[in-house]
Amino acid sequence: MRKTRVINSQISNIISDMGHFDTMSIGDAGMPVPVDTKKIDVSIENGVPSFMQVLENVLSELEVQKVYLAKEMIDQNPEQLANVKALIGDTPIEFIEHEQMKQDLSKAKAFVRTGEMTPYSNIILESGVVF
């Protein structure tokens, strides 16, 4: 058994497979995922697990050089935006249109679907390097 925080085998495999500039995404229960993008569904019920719980877990093992958030999050979910900013620290954020985010999911190695039920609780994580 793994000793690290990410014990979900599918998420762990994606993190292990990430290379520099590769992307993976974490999002709310309503985000449409392209057919060709691997979807890892960890949702159990409304709000469980939360977007922030899963994001914190993934960030404990994935080196991230940049994140992408929907511009709509600024006005539609400022509390969640504040939570994300507090968690990622100095990691650069690029705000993109939600429609663009949905299209960009087709390039992601995977999308992790949470039980989150708040609007625009979606993020694309761009992998960095540890050296």
CA distances to 21, 25, 81, 119 from 107, rounded to whole Å, are: 11, 10, 23, 22
Say whether 122 counts as a known binding-site residue. Answer: yes
13 is in an annotated binding site: no
Q: Positive or negative, the Cα torsion across 120, 51, 54, 34?
A: negative
CA distances, 10 to each of 6, 14, 39, 41, 44 (Å): 10, 6, 10, 10, 16
Pick the closest to residue 52 from 128, 98, 115 (CA basis). 115
Q: Is 98 annotated as a binding residue?
A: yes
Length of the chain: 131
Strand pairing class (123-127; 23-27) = antiparallel
Catalytic residue among 2, 5, 20, 107: 20
83 is in an annotated binding site: no
20 is catalytic: yes
User: Binding residue per annotation — 16?
Assistant: no
Residues of the binding site: 28, 98, 120-122
Residues catalogued as catalytic: 20
Residues of the binding site for substrate: 28, 98, 120-122
